[in-house]
Every structure is written in structure tokens, then in C-alpha cells.
Structure 1
Amino acid sequence: MKPLDGIKVVDFSRVLAGPMATQIMADQGAEVIKVERPGTGDESRSFEPAFEGGQSAYFCAFNRGKKSVAIDLRSEEGREIALDLAAAADVIVENFLPGGMEKLGLGYEAVSARNPGVVYISNTGFGQTGPYKDRKGYDTVFQALSGVIDLTGHPDGPPAKVGVPFADMTSGLWIVIAAMTGLLGRATSGRGCHVDLAMMDVQVSLLSLPAMWWFAQGRKPTRTGTEHLGRVPSAAFECRDNEWIFISASDQHWPAICDVLALDAPEWMEKNAARVERREEVMSMLRAAILPHARAELADTLRAAGVPAGEVNTVPEILGDPHTRFRGMVAGFDDPDRGETQCLATPGRFSGYDPIEFLAPPRLGADTDAVLRSLGVGDARLSELRDKGVVA
């Protein structure tokens, strides 16, 4: 048994945020039915990087453990099938532009008329209302508009995007939060709901600390590289052999830092407020003291002294890290073409439930027949729909 056993999710979303969210739900036991276009499917099926043989690793990263149903939503018969699917769902996730699902006859009003308990999540760029609601956007556009890119990078350099699809992935997490909140609300009220979840709103909500600098002091936050606006030291420092270490410390850690680095620091440096005020003086002293050290040895020594410190790992380093491996964060699934294929696990371990079994992402339309049969569609009708190109 898994936490979401018995929950049915119909996923009309594409590319990243929605598929990431529904994959998390699939990992936890939900039945996720991914509705795709016949012939091409989710456009991320063609995205790089790709495994040998051509299958998109991008698609595999966000679509494992789902069922794929290929339905032509441009046809009336296809829309009727999709509405039948939606009528049996606990959760619906879609990321069409506002009004897009309504034009297909699959909007919240149409679905909830047949399925009043449905939790229907519309994940759009700018929401269902507002002056920007009809704008299109991608992850980096939302990073830019929200101020995240302006806050990222070094003070003397240009703005930079976050190194992962930050807006997409944080929005994906909020889709899961919305789905679970809606389901919990349904359990107490007996009613479903429509969730208007804008990626732009998610990004603005993440500005909580920079916003407080503005709200409290009228101070515009600026790029600080790896440094913290309100704490010194909290930054990446270069070590010997061009390796880097991150040290984040408060006043209680300062004496241990001075001891490990053999610093003859003046008394005024004992207080963080003074270190922040004279940031460059403190940072210059620390950079010079840290540079001769080997990263691994220094990190171990600082941690042994109780100082929060960590190596600045590359992706291969952290994927091979013994703690990462021990925690099972590098997992795998059995792919019908390649065999054992590595993937990243979903974090969170729930006591009293079966462990997660990671399953391969579906081939396009692999489950069309089985899912339609579960709706009562007979073999003759299936053949007719397939001949018409309504399903594939």
C-alpha cells in the first residue's frame, strides 16, 4: 500500500511543471493517466538530452510511472472520451492558456457538473485573471519577471538564471501542494474545487526574504554572488587546486573559524553586525586564509569544530556521494528498451507504507486501449476510433 493508492489523476499538462507534479503523485501510488496528442505526444518527448537510441531523457525525468492515452482533442469524439476520463478523476492537472480547456469543453464548470468532487488545477503562467493572463512564458521568463534573475549572479557581473528550471520545478511542487490540500478539503467538506495556480505567483511568493528587506528598510536587494546579505561569513571560498567550499556561520561559530584558520582577528569581528558593515575587510582576510587549504581536509576540520561547511560539489560528485547513495536518491527503473535506467528518487519516506517502486515512463499511447476499455468502450468501437485517428 502507498499513500495515494486509490487516487486517480488525469494529466493534461505538458513539458515540466505539471508532469513533475503528477510524477510525484504517481510515485506515491496515484494512478496517473497522461493525455497526449496522437503522433507527437508531449513535446518534451523530443527534447534533449536523449539516451542512446533516441528516447528523451528529459521526458523520462518527469513522466515515469504513468499511463499514456493518445486522444485527439480537436475531434468531438476525442473530447467526449476526455470528458469521460475527467468525470472519473480525483485530480485534474492542466496547463493550457486561460480559456483553452473551456474551448475544448473540458473546463472546470463542464467537468465539475459531472464530477463535483474533482480537484481541478489550472497551472498557467500568469493565472486566470489579471492584465498578463494571456501572455505565454517559459521558466526563464518567469525567473526574469519575478526578480529572481536580478538577484542571481555576482555584484560586478550581469544577472544570471538559476542553474536548474527553478520556476518550473517550484511550480510543480505547488501543484502537488494544491492537489493534496484540495483532496484534504474534499474529505472534510465533500466538495472539490478549482485551483488557479500561476507560475508567476509562485515565483513572487518565493521572494519572502528579499521582499522583507524592501518592506522593512526600503532597501533594494542586489546581487551578492554566493554571499548572504545579512551574514558574514556565508559564501563560497576558493581552496587549493581550484576547488571551492561554502561556509555559513554565525557569531557562535566565529571563534572556531578563527581557531581552524589560525586567524588573529580583531575583537570587533566577533559580532556579525560589524562583519556585515565591514564585509570586504572580513572577506579578504578569510579568502587569503582559506586559499592554501585542501578543500576536503578543511571541510572535515570545520565540521568537526561545529562550523556549518560544505564542499561546492559538481553534479557527478553529489550523485556519487556516499550519503546520496545511502539515502537512495539515485534510483532506477527497468526500461523495456534499455533495461536498468538510472533516475532521481522522490524525497520523503513514509513509515507504514510500501517503498516506492520506480516504473518506466510510458510509450506514447501505450495504455489507450486498456484505459478506454475501463470506460466501457468495446473492441469494435476502439477499432473505429483508431481508424478515424481519434485515438492512437
Structure 2
Amino acid sequence: MMGSLDGVRVIDVTMSVAGPFATQILGDLGADVIKVERPDVGDDTRKWGPPFWEGESCSFISLNRSKRSVVLDLKTEEGREDFRLLVDSADVLVQNLRPGSLTKLGLGHEEMRARNPRLIYCDMTGYGGRGPLGDAPAYDPLMQAFSGLMSMTGEDGGAPARIPVSVLDQGAGMWTALAVMDALRNRDRTGEGTHVETSLMETAMMWMPSQLTGYFAAGVIPQRLGSGTVGIYPYAAFPTADNWIIIAAGNQSLWERLCRAIEREELMEDERFLLNPDRVAHREELFEELARTLRERPSAEWLEKLASVGVPSTPIQTLDQVVRDEQVQAMGILPEIPHPRIEGFRTIALPLRENGEYPDIRRVAPLLGEHTDEVIGPLRAQTRGEA
């Protein structure tokens, strides 16, 4: 499937997770993504590990497919001039270096858009590039902590816990990809590029709309609820005889069906649990009541009974179970694709389909500088007037 960004060139000056995730999305959608890396070391994630897969960092190869890699030393005039040639050929530039780094080299958005007015220049930062922390470095766990997100994760009374995926990095990457699509659409109308800014902090705020609105409305500071959520109960993990399951009884009908399925109809008449606000106010007591019953039988038996009456529920699976699951197999989101260096290589498709098909994965993650001559050579030849 040819992506909608076929013919769009993206210059990727990013490292770690947020920026590479954004440009990988653009590459999967068809863009020609040129990843600019430092000599010798490249993107930091090339060294992150273990695990490694045939000597290649799993972090790097999971975030940098659909790209070509060039090595440029931007500390030298030759490197900066080659970079300017790249920008002249580009539609989009995405960078997440420390704020001001490219500007100090004369490669900031004002200079680059003066050369190429159609350029869409994207700055990705931790704290938004302004304010007292605007220039501070930021990594996902720092931002989960600073934004308040970490104050809500973990068990009640326990230590704060980081969400163990880079939810803010990858979220910022998604917003950047969306912003690029919007800017390209605007450029179609106006002929002009623009300066786009996204950040991890702003992403964190956007991931908490209910919690922030609740605070503005009632001054409620969300507490740690483990697997639960604010405002609905039972809507959390519960122990069974052999494991844990998630039950999501998100309305009154589902609550009543749950009670009947586990043969605890008397809970429907208990004043503490009559309506959802009552159940939320007495979540600890209700957890104990439900857990006492659910511990009597194994997970599979409960899940079958709950499914038979339409109560949403699921086992809590580990990744080895997930990749073998019939549903995941049917989706086909973990394809095995040809790789020049890794036999049996599998990856994750971009999670959107058109006419039933995921976007093609055209390139595996590149070796450091693998495409420098292929990309930079023709640009230099053009400046010399060569055919």
C-alpha cells in the first residue's frame, strides 16, 4: 500500500524515542525520511541494550525503520553545508535535540525557512521551549514525574510508578506526525511552510483531560488507584483462584449482570453499592466483597461466565501470551519481514489500515551512515551543475 506521503522528504535530526517515533510514522506513511546522525556514535539508542538482536539495539531498530541514514558532522562547515543542501531538498524537518542546539549552529527554524520557505520545521522539546525550564533536558520518566502523571500510578499507599512504556515520548511523536499532516495540508492551500512545536509536557497534560477537569471543577487531586480509574467502579483488576483478571463494569446494567454472574445478587441491594457514585465512594469495601468470591474459582471459569452475560473482562497476559494469542494472530499486526542481517525478523505494523491493509514496511532500520553517499552525493553534484 503506497502511503499518502509518497514524494514528501523529511529530514530527521532526532535521537532517543520521541523524535524517531514521529519520523518513523511519517516514513511508514510513505515519506522519504533521511536520518541525520553524528559520526561514530549516531543516535544514542544504537547503544541502548541489552537486548540486542544480532548485534543491533532493539530500541533503535524498533524506532527507526522506513528511514535512510546519513552521517554529517554539524560541528564542521562542510557538514553544515551538506545539511543546508538537504534542507533545500526537503518538505519537513523534525528535530528533538536540546533546545537551541541547531540555532547555535545557524540551522534553526528561521535560517532554514529563509532558505526554503515551503519547509515545515518541527521542534520537539521536553517543556515546550519556553518558560523557566524551556531549555532543560527531558526524558520520559522525568516528564511523567513532573507532569503529575506518576503521582497517579502505582498502588494506593505504595510508591509512585512509571508507566513502563515511553507513553509521553511516543505520544509526543504521534502529535508531531499529526501536526506535520496538518501543516502539509495548510501548505497545499497557502504554498507556505510553518514552524511546528510539540513537547512531552504538553502531551502529558493532554493525556489527563478528565483528571485536570475534575481538579478545576472540584479541587480533587487524583490518588494512586493501581489498575483502577477515577469515577467508575468496579473497573479494575481482581484476583481469582489462579491469576488476576480485569473487570470493567462501566454502567449500571453491567454492574447488575456482574452480580448475577458471580451469584452475589445481594450486592445490588447493599446501600454502599447501589449506584456508581456509591461504589466509587466505597471501592475498598467492594473490592474485598468481589475478591472474596472471585478467589473461589480460576480465571478461565470466571471469564467464560462474564462473557456469557456481556460483562467486559479479560485476563492480564504477559507478552509471550500476547504474541501467541489468536486475536493478535488474526490481526496480523506483528508481521515477519525480510531483513538483510536478522533472520526471522518481526516488527509491529503501523496500527492503521486502509481497505484492510497495513502500510507497507519498505525499509528496516538502517546501519549508521548506510545511505550517506546515496543521499548527499546527488545534492553535491547538483550544486556543481553536474547532470
Equivalent residue letter for 1:36: E
RMSD (CA atoms) = 1.9
Give the match's secondary structure for 2:366: coil
Equivalent residue letter for 1:154: E
Any residues of structure 2 matched to 1:285-324 within 5 Å, and which?
285-324=289-328
Any residues of structure 2 matched to 1:134-145 within 5 Å, and which?
134-145=135-146
Distance, in Å, in 2 between the alignment partners of 1:22 and 1:52 is: 22
Pair 1:128 & 2:132 matched: no
Residue 6 to residue 28, structure 1, CA distance change in 2 (3 Å): same
Pair 1:77 & 2:81 matched: no
Residue 353 to residue 191, structure 1, CA distance change in 2 (3 Å): farther
Give the match's secondary structure for 1:339: coil
Aligned to 1:326: 330
Aligned to 2:171: 170
Give the match's secondary structure for 1:246: strand
Aligned to 1:57: 58
Distance, in Å, in 1 between the alignment partners of 2:244 and 2:8 is: 45
Give the match's secondary structure for 2:238: strand
Equivalent residue letter for 2:322: I
Distance, in Å, in 1 between the alignment partners of 2:357 and 2:184 is: 19
Residues 340-390 of structure 1, C-alpha deviation per residue, up to 9 Å, x if partnerless? Answer: 311111100123988413531111111111101231438x9xxxxxxxxxx
Aligned to 1:206: 207
Query: Runs in 1 of length 4+ with deviation above 4 angstroms?
Result: 352-355
Distance, in Å, in 2 between the alignment partners of 1:200 and 1:52 is: 32
Distance, in Å, in 1 between the alignment partners of 2:53 and 2:280 is: 51
User: How far 1:216 sits from its partner (Å)?
Assistant: 1.0
Aligned to 1:367: 371
How does the TM-score come out when normalised to structure 1?
A: 0.92
User: How far 1:217 sits from its partner (Å)?
Assistant: 0.8
Residue 352 to residue 192, structure 1, CA distance change in 2 (3 Å): farther
Pair 1:265 & 2:267 matched: yes
Residues 96-136 of structure 1, C-alpha deviation per residue, up to 9 Å, x if partnerless? Answer: 22221111221111111121111111001112221111211
Q: Contact (CA 8 Å) 1:153, 1:159: kept in 2 or not?
A: yes
| Runs of 5+ consecutive residues of structure 2 not aligned to the other structure | none
Distance, in Å, in 1 between the alignment partners of 2:357 and 2:277 is: 48
Distance, in Å, in 2 between the alignment partners of 1:333 and 1:49 is: 22
Give the match's secondary structure for 2:329: helix
Equivalent residue letter for 2:326: P
User: How far 1:293 sits from its partner (Å)?
Assistant: 2.1
Any residues of structure 2 matched to 1:226-237 within 5 Å, and which?
226-237=227-238
Distance, in Å, in 2 between the alignment partners of 1:26 and 1:266 is: 53
Residues 55-97 of structure 1, C-alpha deviation per residue, up to 9 Å, x if partnerless? Answer: 1111001001210001111100110110110121111100122
How does the TM-score come out when normalised to structure 2?
A: 0.93
Equivalent residue letter for 1:274: D
Equivalent residue letter for 2:247: I
Aligned to 2:279: 275
Residues 127-152 of structure 1, C-alpha deviation per residue, up to 9 Å, x if partnerless? Answer: 22211112112110000000011010
Percentage of pairs with the same residue: 37
My pick for the range that moved more, 196-205 or 228-237, is 196-205
Give the match's secondary structure for 2:56: coil
Residue 361 to residue 26, structure 1, CA distance change in 2 (3 Å): same
Pair 1:350 & 2:354 matched: yes
Q: Contact (CA 8 Å) 2:307, 2:313: kept in 1 or not?
A: yes
Give the match's secondary structure for 2:267: coil
Give the match's secondary structure for 2:347: strand
Give the match's secondary structure for 2:344: strand
Distance, in Å, in 1 between the alignment partners of 2:257 and 2:38 is: 60
Give the match's secondary structure for 1:331: coil
User: How far 1:328 sits from its partner (Å)?
Assistant: 1.5
Aligned to 2:154: 153
Distance, in Å, in 1 between the alignment partners of 2:129 and 2:230 is: 35
Q: Contact (CA 8 Å) 1:319, 1:325: kept in 2 or not?
A: yes
| Runs of 5+ consecutive residues of structure 1 not aligned to the other structure | 381-392
Equivalent residue letter for 1:39: D
Give the match's secondary structure for 1:377: helix
